[in-house]
Amino acid sequence: MERLYPRFIIIHHTAGFDVPALTIDSYHAKEGFGVKITSPKSLVDEYIR
């Protein structure tokens, strides 16, 4: 699960780059991932790079 964790962040941010982390949290909760993304946006930007 941890390996896919960054990929999910990238997927959401490529679809809508300015999507807030809170929205991603809700999406993952609905999809049943049960993972709360609490990474700051700066960390998310590093994944995209």
Look over the chain and give the mean of its residue pLDDT values, rounded to a whole number. Answer: 54
User: How many domains does the chain fold into?
Assistant: 1
Cα 12-4-44 angle, rounded to 5 deg: 45
- With 0-12 / 13-18 / 19 or more C-beta atoms within 10 angstroms meaning exposed / middle / buried, residue 39 is middle
pLDDT at 1: 44
Q: Tens digits of per-residue pLDDT, 7-28?
A: 555 555 445 445 555 555 665 5
pLDDT greater than 50 at residue 35? no
Task: Name 36's Cβ contacts closer than 8 Å, sequence gap at least 6.
Answer: 25, 28, 29
pLDDT greater than 50 at residue 48? yes
pLDDT greater than 60 at residue 38? no
* Domain extent for 19: 5-48
